[in-house]
Structures are given as structure tokens and as C-alpha cells.
Structure 1
Amino acid sequence: MKIGIIGVGYIGKTLSRKLGAAGHDVKVANSRGPQTIDAEVLVTGARAASAADAVKDVDVVILSIPLNRLPEVAPLIATVPADTVVIDTSNYYPARDSTIDAIEAGQVESLWAAAQLGRPIVKAWNAIGSGSLAGTGMPAGTAGRIAIPVAADDDRERAVGMSLVDDTGFDGFDAGTLAESWRQQPGAPAYCTDLTIEELPAALAAAEAARLPVRRDLAVAAFAERVGDGTTNPDPEFGVRVSRALFM
């Protein structure tokens, strides 16, 4: 597939490398221009591009930017054909994204994101930590392979998301519609707990919407105490331990 990725942070750069290694034709862009993209992002064949070029003539656009920046890229996404699959990897963290009243009032994050972009989206790769995404992928059929929930309102688009998740080394799990994607938001039992495809359905079913924000904020405080700032991610083992203790 031809894939354009906007954002080369922790998740975006890993997706660039993994999807390039899987044989996809990948273009990547950031907000500062193609000349600023590190060579490590391009090591498996992805090409640095401007944001406008990254979303041109592609089958899939992956947005790997903070949730509060989605409105900024909405004009860019408006240029993308309707049959192009748009995948969003973001999550809502008030300390980073500032308060978003609609989400605080209970709107599902993915539905808010789709409204900002003005089109349907797929939610994928949001429920795995960046360390686990980078370091724990396995070939299909391997015992203990981690599963990642994929939600979308369109069956075809959800299937594309699941297939690409598989290409990054994880079992894509059909998590239903965007209205149900709150079950993979921060604070939920399925969020960053590195579960197998056999374990994931029960975790999604066990989610309690009212408890997610409190659990999310407890995890943020634990991670901040561990690493001492708001920009460094905790090591994956610690992150999974904390997430399982607080969310499950």
C-alpha cells in the first residue's frame, strides 16, 4: 500500500520503520519540514516529504500527532479523497492537550477527532505504549503475540487498519465502531496492558467509562514521578506493570 504518515514522534517513527520494512511505500512528514526528519525514521525505505506531499496519492493516511493538533491538519485532510483510509493514533491527555470540554463531558475521543477532521477515521495503535510497539512485535501465529484493538465505523476501513496492525507485528482485533472505541482509551483495561487476542475481548468488555479519567491521571502521575518530566516515556516494562495495576 501507499501510506502517508503525519508525525514522527514515538509512535510515528516506529510505524514508519515497521510499515516500510513490511514492504509498503511510505512517506513521512512532520511540522518542521522534510529536511528535519532523522535518518533513523527512514532506515527501512520510507521517504521524507512535506505534509502536503505525504497525503497525496496514497491509500492510507496515518495521523500520529497529539490529539489537540488534529484541528490544525483538518484543512490538509480535506484534500484527501473520500476513499483514502485515515487512521488516528492519538489519545486525550488534558495536561498536554489542554481541556477539551466535549471530551470532558463524555464525548468519545475518536468521535471528537472525526468531527474535527470532518470525515470518518480508524482508531488504531493508540492502545499500545511506544516501547512495546517498537520492541515486542512478533510474526503472525507466534504464541503470546500482543493484540491491538482497531475501531472504525466502516468495515472496509477497519479491515485495512487491522491488516496494517498485523504488518507491524501485532494481532489486529476488531473492536467495533468508533462509538465503542472509548473502551481502548487511556485508563481502560485494554489500554497499554499488552494483552493477547484471547485476553483482549474480556478487557474491552470490562471497561467502565466513568473510571477512565481517574485511572488515566493516576498513571500520568506515576509515570511523571518515575521519569521526572512530561516528555520522556517510561520504560515499557514499567509502563505495562503500572497500566495493568491501575486499569485492570
Structure 2
Amino acid sequence: MKIGILGSGLMGSQLGRIWATCGHDVLFSYSRSTSKLDRLARECGGQSATVSEAVRDADALLLAVHWSRVPDVLEQSGALKDRVVLNCCVPLNDANSELVLGTTTSGAEELARRLPDARWVSCFNTVPSEAFEPVFARKGETPPPQVLIYGESLSAKKVAQDLIRDAGFQPLEAGGLRTGRFVEPFAMVTAELAYAQPGGPALTYHFTKFR
């Protein structure tokens, strides 16, 4: 699969490396430093690209930028008609301390309103990037940690589920984009547990239903 990474910070670079290791063709784009994109490409056998190049032939895209950068990267990406877009963004203020949307809408819903012809699916936004490498290193162990996934397009969810499993996680179905109203605040809980509480940031979760 050809995957365009829109945003090559902690989330985009870690997932891009993992997917490249799984054999996917990964294009890294959108960084303040072109040398960083080149380095990522060299390290994992991917490619560095402009946003438009990353979008052009991709089978799937990962949107992984700070919320303040979303308008800029989407302006460069174009309409994304019929494109599968995995969104791991949380709508945070510049200090990363507060959500700027919530209760009556969500970042996931606002992205879909902005580009309604894209096939949006949200995932990975409730797992700290520090957990990706250790989870991938333990891939195949049971039970795998889970990743909440939500969106309207079943075909987009299928693509996202496969990529989630590639990374060593189990996708956990959580409904449509409206679920983002509750998942995005939950992401703040996982951030609190990962970064403000003892034990280190490589935090995962697994929900269990008892019958």
C-alpha cells in the first residue's frame, strides 16, 4: 500500500517507520525541515515528498499535524475526493493544554465538514507516540492493545483496521465521527496518564466486555 504521511512529527514519523517496516510504500511530507523528511526517508526506505506529491498516488493518508496547522496542510492537499484519510489529530490549543472543540462537535466532525468528499476515519489519537515502537516490537502477543476507530465510511475503516493491525494493535470499533465528541476528551485522559503520572509515556489500553 502507498501511504502519504501529512505531518512528520512524533506521530507521523513513528507510524510511517512502522508501516515502512511492514512493507508499505511510505511518503513523508509536511515538516519545517526538508532535511528531517530526507532523513526519515533514508532511515526506513521511504520517500520524502511535498504534500501534493504525497497525496497524488496514495492509497491512504495519515493526517498527523498540530491542530493549528490543519488549515495549511489541507490547503496544500486539495479536496481529497474519495481519499481514505486516517486522522490522529486532537483539536488542541497552542499550549496543548485544552481542547478548542467539544461537547457539541469534534475535530473529527469539523474535518469532515471542511473536506466532505474525503473518506475520514479517526484512530491512533488516544495512544501516545512513545507506545508505538514497544507495541510493534511485541506484535503477535495476546491480547494486543487496542486503538479506538470511528468514522462513517466502512471501506475507509477497513483500510484503517488493516494498518492498525500492521502496527501491532487491535482496532476497537467506536461508531461514527460523532463519537469524536467523547474520544477527543478521552485522549486528554490518556495524555494525563502518560505524561503527568508515574510510569513513563508508553501507555496503552485494552477494554474487556464480560458476558
Q: Could you state the TM-score of these two structures normalised by the residue count of structure 2?
A: 0.81
Question: How many percent of aligned residue pairs carry the same amino acid?
Answer: 24
3-state SS, counterpart of residue 149 of structure 2 = strand
CA distance in 2, matches of 1:112, 1:79: 14
Please give the residue correspondences for 1:136-147 in structure 2 after superposition, counting only pairs within 5 Å.
136-137=135-136, 138-140=138-140, 142-147=141-146
Query: Does residue 1:23 correspond to 2:28, yes or no?
Result: no
Aligned amino acid, residue 47 of structure 2: R
Cα distance, 1:104–1:154 mapped onto 2, change above 3 Å: closer
Q: Aligned-residue CA RMSD in angstroms?
A: 3.0
CA distance in 1, matches of 2:49, 2:169: 27
For structure 2, list consecutive stretches of 5 or more residues without a partner in the other structure: 206-211
Cα distance, 1:160–1:182 mapped onto 2, change above 3 Å: same
Aligned amino acid, residue 113 of structure 2: A
Aligned amino acid, residue 26 of structure 1: V
3-state SS, counterpart of residue 4 of structure 1 = strand
Cα distance, 1:41–1:225 mapped onto 2, change above 3 Å: farther
CA contact (8 A) 1:122 1:158 kept: yes
CA contact (8 A) 2:147 2:170 kept: yes
Task: Choose which of 100, 110, 123 in structure 1 pairs with 2:108.
Answer: 110
Please give the residue correspondences for 1:190-229 in structure 2 after superposition, counting only pairs within 5 Å.
192=190, 219=192, 223=195
Cα distance, 1:188–1:27 mapped onto 2, change above 3 Å: closer
3-state SS, counterpart of residue 65 of structure 1 = coil
3-state SS, counterpart of residue 90 of structure 1 = coil
Partner of 1:7: 7
CA shift for structure 1 position 88: 0.9
CA contact (8 A) 2:27 2:41 kept: no
CA distance in 1, matches of 2:56, 2:37: 19
CA contact (8 A) 1:71 1:117 kept: no
Q: Could you state the TM-score of these two structures normalised by the residue count of structure 1?
A: 0.70
Task: Tell me which structure has the larger Cα radius of gyration.
Answer: 1
For structure 1, list consecutive stretches of 5 or more residues without a partner in the other structure: 193-215, 227-233, 242-248
